[in-house]
């Protein structure tokens, strides 16, 4: 016999039933999240391995020096019509061309680089510019330097016996000076 004023004799039992139901719901929820993540990872993985990535630019490393944007006369810093600067670099065993890269401060810059032979590393010390240069592919990186200075640009990917001697310099100079020097020049470097 129960009434509204006294607790039901099996109220403790009801409480644990409610708790069990809530626990069940949370367990289902947690498992659903897990399944969702696994499915997402599977789709991502399958897609990545079956579809070409977007924004991958390829180039024939054997004809780099003969034609295309990486011919020697096209290497170095180029002023674009929008006022930005594109820097083209070729890495080869065991040097970068150009050896000294000249860029203006406070200007949007795009580094475009590739390798003529082995895999090289492209890193500008004191910045977050850091990538690999793989033969057959163009590495394109946006950059901006907020103060003038000199940065070492070592190859940081073991590329053969001369690896440790492979490096270039990046010189960041005053913007006005850069654009004054670039007037009338097709490509700019600081190679002496
Ligand atoms: Cu090039 Cu190490």
CA atoms within 13 A on the CB side of 172: 20
CA proximity to 114, closest of 132, 130, 99: 132
pLDDT over 90 (residue 169): yes
Enumerate residues lining ligand 1, CB below 6 A: 91, 94, 120-121, 155, 157-159, 163, 166
> Does residue 153 contact residue 96 with C-beta atoms inside 8 Å?
yes
Rounded average pLDDT over 98-112: 96
What residue ranges in 6-124 does DSSP mark as E strands?
A: 57-58, 76-79, 85-92, 95-97, 100-104, 109-115, 120-123
CA of 76 to the centre of ligand 1 (A): 19
Please state the domain extents for the chain: 11-51, 61-182
Atom of ligand 1 nearest to the CA of 157: 2
Q: Is the pLDDT of residue 191 over 70?
A: yes
Q: How far is the CA of 71 from the centre of ligand 1 (A)?
A: 20
pLDDT value, residue 8: 53
Give the mean pLDDT of 175-182: 92
pLDDT score recorded for residue 55: 75
Residue nearest atom 1 in ligand 1 by C-alpha distance: 120
**Domain 61-182 part of CATH 2.60.40.420:** yes
Higher pLDDT, 177 or 10: 177
CA of 56 to the centre of ligand 1 (A): 22
pTM: 0.73
pLDDT digits (tens, 9 = 90+) for 15-72: 899 999 999 999 999 999 999 999 999 998 888 777 766 678 899 999 988 888 999 9
């Amino acid at each position: 016999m129960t009434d509204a004023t006294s607790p039901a004799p099996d109220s403790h039992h009801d409480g644990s039933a409610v708790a069990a139901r809530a626990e069940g719901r949370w367990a289902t929820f947690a498992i659903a999240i897990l399944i969702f993540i696994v499915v997402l990872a599977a789709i991502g993985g399958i897609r990545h391995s079956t579809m070409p990535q977007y924004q991958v630019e390829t180039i024939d490393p054997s004809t780099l020096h003969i034609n295309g944007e990486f011919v020697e006369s096209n290497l170095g810093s180029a002023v674009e019509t929008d006022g930005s600067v594109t820097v083209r670099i070729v890495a080869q065993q065991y040097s970068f061309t150009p050896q000294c890269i000249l860029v203006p401060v406070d200007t949007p810059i795009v580094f475009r680089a590739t390798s003529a032979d082995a895999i090289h590393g492209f890193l500008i010390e004191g910045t977050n510019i850091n990538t690999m240069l793989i033969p057959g592919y163009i590495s394109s990186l946006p950059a901006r330097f907020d103060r003038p200075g000199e940065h070492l640009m070592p190859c940081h990917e073991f590329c053969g016996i001369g690896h440790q001697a492979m490096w270039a310099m990046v010189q960041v100079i005053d913007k006005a000076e850069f654009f004054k020097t670039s007037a009338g020049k097709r490509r700019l470097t600081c190679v002496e």
